[in-house]
Chains A and B, each alone.
Chain A
Amino acid sequence: MSKPVIKCENVYKIFGANAQKMLRESNGNVDAKTFQENGCIVGVNNASFEVSKGEMLVVMGLSGSGKSTLLRCISRLTDATGGKIFIEGQDLLQLNNKELIDLRRNKMGMVFQSFALLPHKTVVENIAFPLQIKGNKTKESISKAMDMVKLVGLDGRENYFPRELSGGQQQRVGIARSLAVEPDIWFLDEPFSALDPLIRKEMQDEFLRLQDKLQKTIMFITHDFDEALKLADRIAIMKDGIIEQLDTPANIVLNPATEYVRKFTEEVPREKVLLIEDVMDKSKDNLGDLKVLKDEIIENVAEKILTQEKTVAVIDNNDKIVGSINPTKIINTVFGGRKNNN
């Protein structure tokens, strides 16, 4: 595997007057309670993980779990109290102001929950803003921004002001702005939380379409578990600043690491999350005629499998049989006792 694009080693973020000192004295054993008694609030507690190129890591947690703080440490909108963060091998915390600005101007893009558009600029001017800040010529920036307007499907509205747009449209502008400098790393901080459910779904699909095309390295923050499952390559679940579990959606649903994670997964419709591969048996005996791809989501092929009497063969992309699955297994997965299912 190639070098990770984002790499965090024991990252801490603690708010408070003498956070530095307390962290040093704690030897990496940070207990939120003792810190709170001393007037410090723990935002991120010992976060270590890697995100590789083209991967989408979704950080999931309820409000106050430290997910936004973690993102702001990695974009260095706040300075981490302890630990190391590497962006493409560069030590982020060692960068001086100029290098940091360079990094942001060329490698990073960020989308915000409240859209954070500049009220005095039009759609196209907002999108061109990072380019102009970079020092590009106005004409170039505007024409590049127009491409972005088309990419997010806002053509015809490029001269509107943010106040004249709906929430969904505003966030499209936010997305376009964050992509204008063609960043490698894309941060999204609850981008769809402020939108209506219907618009949210539409935007999620749009987002997946974009990512399919662009293949950015993404850190995506959300408090919506369904959204996380739908979008993520891997999910990190946070609670009180600690990453409780970091794994693929299927593994999180099938093997919740802690009680807290299990509570989330309880109500999840498995057939929408799990792939055939996740539930198939290894045995290749007694197979019927039907073959299903191992990468299919259960929901899509369940009906076909359930109408079979025999065990169904599971194949990979090269048409090679890699396992089998029988209808009982499907029924068990979907309707089986959730509490005992593991």
Chain B
Amino acid sequence: MELIKKYPKTFQWLFLLIVFFSLCFAIDVPETYKFIRGQAEFVKDPNQSSYIFLGKEVRYYAFDVFWRLPPLLGWLPIWINDSLFFLMNEWMPIEVWNEDTQEFKSRPIVLQISRNLTAFMTFLIELIREILLGGLETIVAFTSWDWIDKNPWAKLPGLPWTIVAAGAAILSYKLSGKGLALFAGLTMVYISVFGQWKPSMQTLSFILVAAPLSFIFGLGLGIAAFKSKRVEKALYPILLVMQTMPQYAVLVPALVLFGVGDHAAVIITMVVAVPPMILLTILGLRAIPPEVIEAGRMSGCNNWQLMLKVLIPTARRDILIGVNQVIMVCFSMAVISAFIGAKGLGFNLLLALNQLNIGLALEAGLCISLIAILLDKMSLAWANKQTDYFGNLSFLQRNKNILFFAATVVVGIILAYVGTFLFKGTFNYLFEIPHNKGISTADFWNKGVDWIFDTFFIYIKAFNTWLIQDVLQPMRALYLRMPAVATIVLVVGAGYLIGGIRSALVVCGLTLFIALSPWWDRALVTTYMATFGVIVSCFIGFTVGTLCFQNKHSASFMLGVCDIFQTFPSFVYLIPVMMLFGITDTSVLIAVIVYATIPATRYTIEGLRSVPIGLHDAATMSGVNKFQRLTKIEFPLAFPHMMLGLNQTIVFALFMVIIGAFIGTEDLGQYILKALSDKKGAGIGLTLGICVAFIGLIFDNLIRTWVDKRKKHLGID
């Protein structure tokens, strides 16, 4: 009894676990239970039960409610689908003037809006694409095909790659200095020489449209949320869900609303890229000292002047960090959008992976990674750059970068012109190196992969078999063996113990949504893969982080490595693992582990670093040795921050598990992938996405609540 009084929390947890396990043992697996369950909507089977809600029939295999809850939300995806269909095809028809047939035509308003939006986006993308690569479409948009036929000279010529490369280098020089300029120049040369110019510029044009638009919307909404509590409250849940929603899942509804292609991808990219911009705008504006705002008011600013001349410039850095985030999200979406037909590097990568041409995939992947690093470094340099004073410089000095760029434009054009004589009858390499006409090392890599396979096949296979048979299968079986009731009790109990009744209710709601959807089993598989990835990642991350922390240089180095790896779009990680482990669950899990180790390591180092110097000194003066200092001082204080790392690790792991569907898994991601190729997939895709987001949010809620309490307890910010 005294023990219970002394450690009440421990006993509460113990009690929760006992209840959980007794439920697990008390409830038997029904004989008819087979794993595959979500397919209920495709198969008709006399053993199925069914119900009708809102006019939608839901068919499912019924089990004891304790074992699996009936999919009472099964109507939701169908309903979303039908609603979307109704909105797009029937709701509020308006008369539209049709240019071609010269008559009014009736069209639903949403479809009309979507078409106009689509046309606008397509125009923007084409415009930038043709500035970079040349083409006709933009001119056609203002004239007609007939006019083009009559005037063969009317064609945007596109920029020679030399000019774009020089432009990137000069911009990098202005933002950061020689180092970045060199990197930018080399990256551009690499892209060009290896024949990736065209897809790269396609991707770039995609970003050049998506990023500024996302920035404008994000900034606007961020300011609105800053000014009005009501707007902020309305935005908050959306922002929360979008943070844990796999980017993959939002592609599906985009497909339905805007069709296939770059324009749909740009629009949906904005949906993903705007939330981080909103968050950082709010953060930046909140961080402005109140006195600066008062100073602005006392200087007689009206609201506009205050916003434009005081608030936004003062929050410049945070807002530009937001721009950095926007650019990185846009880039990663540009890659993933290949699934809905966006052109560019992602498309090539997808194609190469589909053909199992690892060499080609590797080249595209390297290209993607280099551009990602370049974009990240450039936008960060912009954010960290402080305003300079130009007043006392001459015109020449002030505009030297612009003048220099103008000079390179001239030189580039001359070079391209000279090129027409040099490379007569073949491609003008000084103008643009066509796709796959550059140097390719694909064969080399493919041979390398073959060699690895031939040489290490036995070992890799043995490892594979061992992992799958002895670790993964049993773990999966255990997860699936959990009765739904036991899982819910465990999660809600944990919520109650950590955050009280409020947390318990939130977590309960999130879990129930998944349990009542038709994909509980799939969600369990997703969770099992994520859990496995997270456990291994955390182990590696915490160990590596702690070891690196022992030395200042290695810690900084490791953080730099994390920075670089984090910029890569998640899709890229699939290339090397497929190269080594082929198409198995092992590949997915290793990709998950590599990807999720990044935040685990980063947060460990950051957490340990955040321990105040004063405490270090105090500990040293108390005579602790290094190990004692680590265990008694640094770990307890860094632990809350490390738990935030765990939170990130879970989100990263979930994202990767979902993308892993591309390799072939049998979890929620697989269904999202399926939904992409399904005409009626929108509802399913969206609901699945929400399920994944909710898994993330359950952990997010538990961990965050715990961390907040713990930090308050420790008295650290």
Against B, the Cβ 8 Å flags (1 = close, 0 = not) of A106-133 are 1011101111111111100000011001
Q: CB within 8 Å of B: which of A113-172? A: 113-122, 129-130, 133-134, 159, 161, 163
Q: Is B714 an interface residue (CB 8 A)?
A: no
**For B299, what are the chain A residues with a Cβ–Cβ distance below 8 Å?**
104-105, 129-130, 133, 177
- A120 touches which one: B289, B291, B302, B387 (CB < 8 A)? B387
Query: Counting CB contacts under 8 A, is B455 at the interface?
Result: no
Interface bin, chain A: 35 or more
Q: Does A75 contact B (CB under 8 A)?
A: yes
Whether B391 contacts A159 by the Cβ 8 Å rule is yes
**With known contacts A114-B289, A116-B292, A118-B314, A134–B386 Cβ distance under 8 A:** no
* A105 proximity list for chain B (CB < 8 A): 299-300
Check A1 for interface membership: any CB of B closer than 8 A: no
The docked-state distance in angstroms from the alpha carbon of A43 to that of B386 is: 39
In the bound complex, residues from chain B placing their C-beta under 8 Å from that of A75 are 298
Q: Is the interface of A mostly helix, strand, loop or mixed?
A: mixed
**Residue numbers in B under 8 Å from A102 (CB-CB):** 300
Tell me if B711 is interfacial: C-beta within 8 Å of chain A: no
- Of residues 538 through 568 on chain B, the ones whose CB sits less than 8 Å from some CB of chain A are none
- If A118-B310, A119-B314, A120-B314 touch, whether A77 touches B298 (CB-CB below 8 Å) is yes
What are the residues of chain A within 8 A of B392 when measuring CB–CB? 159
> Is the CB–CB distance between B295 and A116 below 8 Å?
yes
* CB neighbours of B305 from chain A (8 A): 133
- Docked-complex contact A120 and B316, CB < 8 angstroms: yes
Instruction: Give the CA-CA distance A120 to B305 in the complex, in Å.
Output: 15
B309 in the interface (beta carbon within 8 A): yes
Shortest CB-to-CB span from B392 to chain A, Å, is 6
In the assembled complex, the Cα of A101 lies from the Cα of B304 at a distance in Å of: 13
Across the interface, B387 reaches (CB within 8 A) one of A72, A133, A161, namely A161
CB contacts under 8 Å to A, within B284-303, are 289, 291-292, 294-295, 297-302
- A residues 168-201 near B (Cβ < 8 Å) are 174, 177-178, 181, 187
Quote the shortest CB–CB distance from A186 to chain B (angstroms).
11
B389 interface contact, C-beta 8 A: yes
Partner among A114, A115, A133 whose Cβ is within 8 Å of the Cβ of B300: A133
A161 CA to B298 CA in the complex, in Å? 21
- Structural contact, A77 and B300, CB atoms closer than 8 A: no
Q: Which of A109, A113, A163 interacts with B298 by CB under 8 Å?
A: A109
Do the beta carbons of B309 and A116 come within 8 Å of each other? no
Contact of B294 among A77, A109, A121 (CB under 8 A): A77
- Does B448 count as interface, using CB distance less than 8 angstroms? no
In the complex, the answer to whether B292 meets A159 with C-beta atoms within 8 Å is no
- By a CB distance below 8 angstroms, the chain A residues around B292 are 116-118
Q: Which residues of B contact A134 (CB under 8 A)?
A: 300
Closest to B392 in A: A159
Asked whether, in the complex, the Cβ of A161 is within 8 Å of the Cβ of B386, the reply is yes
Contact residues of A between 12 and 35, Cβ < 8 Å to B: none
Residue numbers in B under 8 Å from A113 (CB-CB): 291
Assembled-state Cα–Cα distance A79/B292 (Å): 18
How far apart are A236's CB and chain B's nearest CB, in angstroms? 21
Cβ contact within 8 Å between B310 and A163: no
Residue B313 at the chain A interface, CB threshold 8 Å: yes
**Are A101 and B298 in contact, with the CB atoms below 8 A?**
no
Alpha-carbon distance between A329 and B45 when the two chains are bound, in angstroms: 112
Which A residues are in CB contact (< 8 Å) with B316? 120
Contact B300 A101 (CB under 8 A): yes
What total of chain B residues lie within 8 Å of the partner, measured CB to CB?
22
Instruction: For the complex, give the distance between the alpha carbons of A108 and B299 in Å.
Output: 8
Question: Within the complex, what minimum Cβ distance (angstroms) separates B536 from chain A?
Answer: 44
A72 to B314 alpha-carbon distance, docked (Å): 22
Docked Cα-Cα span, A122 to B294, in Å, equals 19
Q: Which residues of B contact A110 (CB under 8 A)?
A: 294-295, 298
Residue in B291, B300, B387, B391 whose CB lies within 8 Å of A116 = B291
Most buried by A among B387, B389, B391: B389
Q: A114-B291, A116-B289 are in contact. Are A122 and B389 (CB under 8 A)?
A: yes
Also in contact, A116 and B294, with CB within 8 A (given A104-B300, A133-B301, A159-B392): yes
Q: Which residue of A lies closest to B312 (CB)?
A: A120
Which residue on B lies nearest to A122, using beta carbons?
A: B389
In contact, B298 and A108 (Cβ under 8 angstroms): yes
One of A109, A133, A174 near B309 (C-beta < 8 A): A133
Max chain A C-beta neighbours (<10 A), residue from B299, B305, B310, B314: B299
Note all chain A residues with C-beta closer than 8 A to B297.
Answer: 77, 104
Output the nearest chain A residue to B310 by Cβ-Cβ distance.
A118
Chain B residue at smallest Cβ distance from A107: B300
Interface bits B363-407 vs A (CB < 8 Å: 1, else 0): 000000000000000000000001101011000000000000000
A60–B562 alpha-carbon span in the complex (Å): 52
* A120 with B294: CB separation less than 8 A: no
- In the complex, A161→B389 CA distance in Å? 8
**Which residue, of A110, A133, A174, has the highest number of chain B Cβ atoms within 10 A?**
A133
Find chain B residues with CB under 8 A from A122 CB. 389, 391
Q: Give the complex CA separation of A159 and B392 in angstroms.
A: 9
- Chain A residue numbers with a CB within 8 Å of B391 are 122, 159
Taking the closest CB of chain A, its distance from the CB of B296, in whole angstroms, is 8
Q: Within the assembled complex, what's the spacing in Å between the Cα atoms of A133 and B387?
A: 20
Contact call A112/B291, Cβ cutoff below 8 A? yes
Q: Which of A101, A116, A178 has the most CB of B within 10 A?
A: A116
Contacts of B389 in A (CB 8 A): 122, 159, 161
Assess A163 versus B300: contact at CB under 8 Å? Given A112-B294, A116-B295: no
Nearest CB of A to B293, in Å: 8
Bound-state Cα–Cα, A309 to B309, Å: 68
Closest to A75 in B: B298
Residue of A nearest to B303 (CB): A97
Residue in A closest to B295 when the chains form the complex, CB atoms = A116
CB-CB under 8 A from B302, the residues of chain A are 97, 101
Smallest Cβ distance from A178 to chain B, in angstroms? Answer: 8
Identify B386's interface contact among A130, A159, A163, A187, CB under 8 A: A163
Nearest chain B residue, comparing its CB with the CB of A142: B391
CB of A100, distance to nearest CB on chain B (Å)? 9
B289 partner residues in chain A, CB cutoff 8 A:
114, 116
- The docked-state distance in angstroms from the alpha carbon of A317 to that of B601 is 78
Complex Cα gap A15–B299 (Å): 25
Which chain B residues numbered 506 to 525 have a C-beta less than 8 Å away from chain A? none
Task: Name the residue of chain A whose CB is nearest to the CB of B293.
Answer: A116
| Chain A residues whose CB sits within 8 angstroms of the CB of B386 once the complex forms | 161, 163
Complex Cα spacing A117 to B294, Å:
11
Q: How far is the CA of A75 from the CA of B295 in the complex (A)?
A: 11
B615 to A: closest C-beta gap in Å:
27
CB distance from A91 to the nearest CB of B (A): 19
Bound-complex Cα distance A177 to B305 (A): 17
CB distance from B659 to the nearest CB of A (A): 41
Q: State whether B313 touches A104 (Cβ < 8 A).
A: no
Q: Which of B259-297 contact A (CB under 8 A)?
A: 289, 291-292, 294-295, 297
Q: List residues of A whose CB falls within 8 A of some B CB.
A: 72, 75, 77, 97, 101-102, 104-106, 108-110, 112-122, 129-130, 133-134, 159, 161, 163, 174, 177-178, 181, 187
What are 8 A-B residue pairs whose CB atoms fall within 8 Å in the complex?
A: A101-B301, A104-B298, A109-B298, A118-B310, A130-B300, A133-B299, A134-B300, A178-B298
User: With A159-B391, A187-B298 given, can you name 15 additional A-B contacts, CB distance below 8 Å?
Assistant: A75-B298, A77-B294, A101-B302, A104-B299, A105-B299, A109-B298, A114-B291, A116-B289, A118-B314, A119-B314, A122-B391, A159-B389, A161-B389, A174-B295, A177-B295
Pairs of residues from A and B, 4 with the lowest C-beta to C-beta distance, nearest first? A105-B300, A116-B295, A130-B299, A116-B291
